[in-house]
């Protein structure tokens, strides 16, 4: 099962490599990884997605919690949550394809953020599934480049991951 694990991490050099290293060291997979500082400059917020059964995920969260740089950790998939992935996708847009791409982008509520004589760059925000669906819908279009931020997530309601 796919899980979204969100971590408050000490904003220290080497902290990120400890998290990433743990995954390769113990044979766990990281599907996506997103990390950036928070409003507290001493803390980074890291969101990663991984797959595994309950025992596997329990072991991953325990091992992550053992890292001294990990301040707090939550498995967002345990409760209601919001997840967002951001994609920038550059496609070949000439002739009839220009209209087709524009239409599909509108349907997915994306934005064309850069226009060239032969290319469009589209920005799309949503769940990973939605982004996958958009890429799948681009079958007749020549995709030149795909950039995704990886999932960022937050719990719904009153629940917060903070100090």
Partner 1 sequence: MDLLSGGEMIARALEDEGVDYIFGYPGGAVLHIYDALFKDCKVPHILVRHEQAATHAADAYARATGKPGVVLVTSGPGATNAITGIATAYMDSIPMVVLSGQVMSHLIGQDAFQETDMVGISRPVVKHSFMIKSAEEIPATIKKAFYIAATGRPGPVVIDIPKDCTRPDEKFEYHYPDAVKMRSYSPAQRGHTGQIKKAARLLLGAKRPVIYAGGGVVQGEGSELLTQLARTLNYPVTNTLMGLGAFPGTDRQFLGMLGMHGFYEANMAMHHSDVILAVGARFDDRVTNTVSKFCPGAKIIHVDVDPASISKTVQADIPIVGPVDSVLTELLAQLDDLRDKDAGLPDAMALERWWTQIDEWRGAHGLLTGRRYGQSEQIMPQQVIESLYRATGGNAYVTSDVGQHQMFAAQYYRFDQPRRWINSGGLGTMGFGLPAAIGVKLAFPDADVACVTGEGSIQMNIQELSTCKQYDTPVKIINLRNNYLGMVKQWQDMQYEGRYSGSTYEDSLPDFVKLMEAYGHVGMQVTKLEDLDAAMDEAFALKDRTVFLDVLVDRREHVYPMHIAPNGSMKDMWLSKNERT
> Between the CA atoms of 21, 8, 74 and 25, what dihedral angle is there, to the nearest 10 degrees?
10
> Interface with partner 1 includes 41 (CB under 8 A)?
no
Residue span binding partner 1 (CB under 8 A) among the ranges 69-77, 82-90, 102-110, 112-120: 69-77
Among 27, 53, 66, 117, binds partner 1 (CB under 8 A): 66
Q: How far apart are CA 81 and CA 159, in angstroms?
A: 10
Size of the site for partner 1 (CB under 8 A): 19
Q: How far apart are CA 21 and CA 34, in angstroms?
A: 15
The minimum distance between CB 70 and partner 1, in angstroms, equals 6
In the complex with partner 1, the residue whose CB is nearer, 56 or 90, is 56
Residues between 78 and 117 that touch partner 1 (CB under 8 A):
none
- Name the packing angle between helices 54-66 and 15-25 (round to 10°): 140
Based on its alpha-carbon atoms, the radius of gyration of the chain, rounded to whole angstroms, reads: 18
> Interface with partner 1 includes 37 (CB under 8 A)?
no
């Amino acid at each position: 099962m796919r899980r979204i694990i969100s971590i408050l991490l000490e904003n220290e050099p080497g902290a990120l490599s400890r998290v990433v290293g743990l995954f390769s060291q113990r044979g766990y997979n990281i599907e996506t990884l997103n990390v950036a500082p928070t409003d507290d400059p001493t803390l980074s917020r890291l969101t990663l997605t991984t797959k595994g059964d309950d025992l596997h995920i329990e072991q991953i969260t325990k091992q992550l919690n053992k890292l001294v740089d990990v301040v707090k950790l939550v498995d967002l998939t345990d409760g209601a949550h919001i997840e967002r992935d951001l994609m920038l996708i550059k496609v070949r847009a000439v002739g009839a394809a220009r209209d087709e791409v524009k239409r599909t982008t509108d349907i997915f509520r994306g934005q064309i953020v850069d226009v060239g004589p032969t290319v469009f760059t589209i920005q799309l925000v949503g769940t990973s599934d939605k982004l996958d669906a958009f890429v799948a819908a681009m079958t007749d279009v020549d995709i030149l480049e795909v950039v995704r931020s990886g999932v960022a997530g937050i719990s719904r309601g009153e629940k917060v991951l903070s100090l």
